[in-house]
Structure 1
Amino acid sequence: MNKDIHVVVLMGGWSAEREVSLSSGKGVVKALEERGYTNVTGLDMDRDVAAKLAELKPDVVFNALHGTPGEDGSVQGMLDLMGISYTHSGCTTSAVAIDKQLTKAVLEPHGIPMPPGKLVESASLYEGDPLPRPYVLKPANEGSSVGVAIVTEDSNYGQPISPQAKGPWQEFDRLMAEEFIAGRELTVAVLGDEALCVTELVIDNGWYDYDHKYTDGQTTHICPAEVSDDIAQRMMDLALEAHRVLGCKGCSRSDFRWDETRGMDGLFLLETNTQPGMTPLSLVPEQAAAKGISYGELVERLIEEALG
């Protein structure tokens, strides 16, 4: 690998996940410099990003953005038009994977089990529940558990949900309503064409929302997860199949819920993330380490695939 190439690490931006993206990006910059790359530029994305990239003339962009527009195909489309190579998934894959309805439409015909659900107008929630409680409401086009609510019989959202109750219905016009799957929270990272392993996420209080993902001490990672070999293999097979069907590149991370009282039938894929975090608390670097792949090697492999 030529370590004199110019790598621009694109981070920050203006999504709800800005701070996490900055943490990911700074980690990538540090790792590349430690591995001997001589021309690494960290770029906090603003509205003039195209002009700045044209001036910088990178050989490759490491996409460390999370959320929109760095994860939804917008930035990928811009880079395609500019003829700049970049890490992670392309424009179409990114646009599909961040859209929960499109993801279901693509994955379910391939036999990938996902929780039953439907798209609802947020205003309709004030008239009545779209599904029997408990159910989950989440934005149709966001990642990393941003704006997710679990509506239970005893939740303080109201019966029906009150317009004054704090929740995603106040921020988003349309939401995906899904059946709540009881059980264990698990995740699988895919790197290239290999599913790495299974991690179980044990939450100290509540569930694996955005704060639990990125706040130290709120979630315990059990890697590898203490599940039977057949369940672990099934999850890794499903994560790899989702990665392939969606057309992901570089790395992805698929999140699962498993109701172990139902055995194999209780396993559901919740979503596939095309821009997994690269922070010190992130799951992909952790799973890579469990397979003997250092953080720096992980970063370098993603760049190699982008340039390949």
Structure 2
Amino acid sequence: MRIALTHNLRLSDLEEEAEFDTQETVNALAGAIERLGHRLERFEVSGPASRTVARLEAYSPDLIFNTAEGRRGRFREAFYPALFDELGFPYTGSDAYALAVTLDKQLTKLILAKHGIRTPGWQYVEKLSELTAENLRFPVIVKPNFEGSSKGITQDSIAETLDEVRAKVTQALAKYPAGVLVEEYIGGKDLTVPFLAAVDNDYDGVLSPVEYVIDPAATVGRKYPIYDYELKTKHHSAVRVRAPANISAKTAEDVRKMAQTIFQVLDCRDLGRIDFRLSDAGVPYFLEINALPSLEPGAGIYASAELDGLHLDGVINSIIQSAAKRYKIKDSARRQGKPARKTGPLRVGFTYNVKRVKPTVDASEDSEAEYDSPATLQAIREAIASWGHEVVDLEANQELPSVLASTPLDVVFNIAEGFKGRNRESQVPAMLELLDIPYTGSDPATLSIALDKALAKKIVRQAGIHTPNFQLMLTGKERLNKDFTFPLMVKPVAEGSSKGVVSKSVCHSEAELREVVKEIASKYKQPALVEEYIGGREFTVGLLGERRPRVLPPMEIVFLDKEEKNPVYSFQHKLDWTDRIRYDAPAKLEPALLERLRAAARGSFMALGCRDVARIDFRMDDKGRLYFIECNPLPGLTPGWSDLVLIAQGAGMDYRTLIGEIMAPAIRRYKEREARRAADEQPPAKVLLEKNAQEKGGLEDKPANGHHAVSSALGGEPRTDPKIS
């Protein structure tokens, strides 16, 4: 299977990361999964959820092995399972409901009390005024209601008088305002009872109780022998797991039966762990349940599983098999009544134009400047293939239409620039839409509009975003807009990769301008765009996504030649930028300006109807006003060189992840198309009812054949739907 390992990586010793997995734990889990013969991809999910979604859609796993705890809030453990459910991906462990309930200690106790489960007396407190403690027996322990891993539990958590309780509750609420639990302290042994649903035993997967044994040397000066946060994090070597627990067979059986009831009542799946306190009188009390237990090496679940002959790999395999059985992964045609969706490797067509003529630095030769080098194409191929997909090369030449029509493809990763004309970038996407093949990037309309810089500026200006004033010139003889003031910028209206943008593109007189316009019209066979030169800082912003695009941290192009009066990000700069410009990624911006730039980029993206990916250029004048310069919805992807790649690197995103995020929405559209097709293939409900009635002999007028039955139900002539390949 293709498995995604979702986790939060612990990067510090801060308490807020106490429940996260260490690199050692992640490596151990990954190693076990790979040794079991599965293909694995690691997903650290602490960043934006949109990035996790995009990466999961790109990888398209058969199963998610989930250990992610979430970062904040009372429902943090439930967040990722809820997200997986929404995306339709199977995952290990309990669902969002069970995780939300079990993280709430007080709610768990209320539910279990109705099923006769013995727990210490308690009181839940959200405000100090609610504290009565009149029915509690001292001493009591004060602990956060919505935390695990012994967070907030220390020797100072135990109170012996009402005044001490008030003081400790006040202190705890200041740190954990969601609520605290005041619970009777039960002296005795700490037991933990693990659960592996796939283990076939008399207790429905509940394993033998194990015992936490604390080194006496570590308890010197401690009044209460509790497994607190300090022991769990700083002195964990002083605690060992005894398996089986040193308790009588009768007590072990009672505890396992109690745990069996708890796991069933709370609907825990695949794995779990329950903590009990065995009193000095030998009476077991339920303390709490962890439906997302630690799987770090040495955890109690492994010690207990070894008693059943399961070592680390066996434990991980049992979790995977339990989830696979629940989701019926082998029966991929239907999952819990949902439409079919393809997981695993896809056939990804790769449409491109290969650069065979190398551009010259003086721009005398730039005919294939927008095309991609063989090295860039190979990097993209490898990045797509690294997500487990099959890559099918499709060079965008005159043979492409017939090749597309005869090649089975799931999706297409498109970077093709097209052949000629201001609609050239839309040519390949238009063919793909004709053939109903999902593809990456914007649709033909957006690609055509964005390539025409004048048309793009009109649309962006209507959205309330500043653009420099401009006009088009076809010959250089047209009357110049009387509102213009020099310097003015002149460039081809429908070219990318800074083609036609050179040092002399900034004109300081009308004579210079008309000469440059003539050169552009002659060389590029298209009008020249004349626009006001904005002489301030230059930024470029990358965006990823669809309706609500993710705006990456902007990059600033810093011009290093201070003697250059009117610098421009030219064709020469892009070919040889050493010592001439510097890329600050991310740009050094004060928060207010950063937010304005992000808003302008997002507004431009949405106004132009961009999709999946785009890079948008801005200039800022001396008054701090931001001006839209142009949008590139088909940006370059050369590793370590293209602007979007540098922007992504500045945002902490490697090249492989960038390609995956661009690809992810197209894969999602592919799956939506497949779901629609599957739904269209289902016969109408009326037909099914008539068919069932016929099989039971309930219809008097039995039609002669199936075609007649369909035409009768639909009220029309018989038809045969053509097969869509």
- Scaled by the length of structure 1, the TM-score of the pair is 0.86
Greater relative CO (CA pairs within 8 A, separation 6+): 1
Distance 1:285 1:138 in 2: 27
Structure 2 match to 1:24: 25
Number of paired residues? 296
The alpha-carbon deviation at position 121 of structure 1 amounts to 2.5
- Which deviates the most, 267-276 or 168-177? 168-177
Tell me how large the CA RMSD over aligned residues is: 2.6
Distance 1:71 1:184 in 2: 30
Distance 1:303 1:274 in 2: 15
Tell me the SS of whatever aligns to 2:237.
coil
Tell me the SS of whatever aligns to 1:75.
helix
The alpha-carbon deviation at position 141 of structure 1 amounts to 1.3
Q: Return the match for 2:240 from 211, 216, 220.
A: 220
Tell me the SS of whatever aligns to 1:89.
coil
Q: Return the match for 1:170 from 163, 168, 174.
A: 174
Structure 1 match to 2:108: 103
1:170 partner letter: A
Alpha-carbon deviations, 1:248-275, whole Å to 9, x = none? 00111110001132x4xx3101011101
- Scaled by the length of structure 2, the TM-score of the pair is 0.38
Summarize the alignment of residues 1-308 of structure 1 with structure 2, pairs less than 5 Å apart: 5-12=1-8, 15-20=16-21, 22-37=23-38, 39-45=39-45, 46-47=47-48, 48-66=51-69, 72-121=77-126, 123-124=128-129, 131-149=136-154, 150-153=157-160, 160-161=166-167, 168-173=172-177, 174-192=179-197, 193-204=204-215, 205=219, 206-214=225-233, 215-261=235-281, 263=282, 266-308=283-325
The structure with the largest alpha-carbon Rg is: 2
Distance 2:149 2:165 in 1: 27
The alpha-carbon deviation at position 68 of structure 1 amounts to 5.0
Distance 2:249 2:19 in 1: 37
The alpha-carbon deviation at position 117 of structure 1 amounts to 0.6
2:7 and 2:20 in contact (8 A); partners too: no
Structure 2, gaps ≥5 residues long: 11-15, 198-203, 220-224, 326-725
2:123 and 2:133 in contact (8 A); partners too: no
- After superposition, the Cα gap between the structure-2 partners of 1:176 and 1:194, relative to the gap in structure 1 and judged at 3 Å, is same
- After superposition, the Cα gap between the structure-2 partners of 1:255 and 1:67, relative to the gap in structure 1 and judged at 3 Å, is farther
**Structure number having the greater strand percentage:** 1
Distance 1:294 1:97 in 2: 27
Tell me the SS of whatever aligns to 2:54.
helix
- After superposition, the Cα gap between the structure-2 partners of 1:62 and 1:210, relative to the gap in structure 1 and judged at 3 Å, is farther
2:69 and 2:76 in contact (8 A); partners too: yes
Structure 1, gaps ≥5 residues long: none
Tell me the SS of whatever aligns to 2:53.
helix
Tell me the SS of whatever aligns to 2:183.
strand
The alpha-carbon deviation at position 184 of structure 1 amounts to 1.0
- Which deviates the most, 292-301 or 23-32? 23-32
Tell me the SS of whatever aligns to 1:255.
strand
1:203 and 1:220 in contact (8 A); partners too: yes
2:193 and 2:274 in contact (8 A); partners too: yes
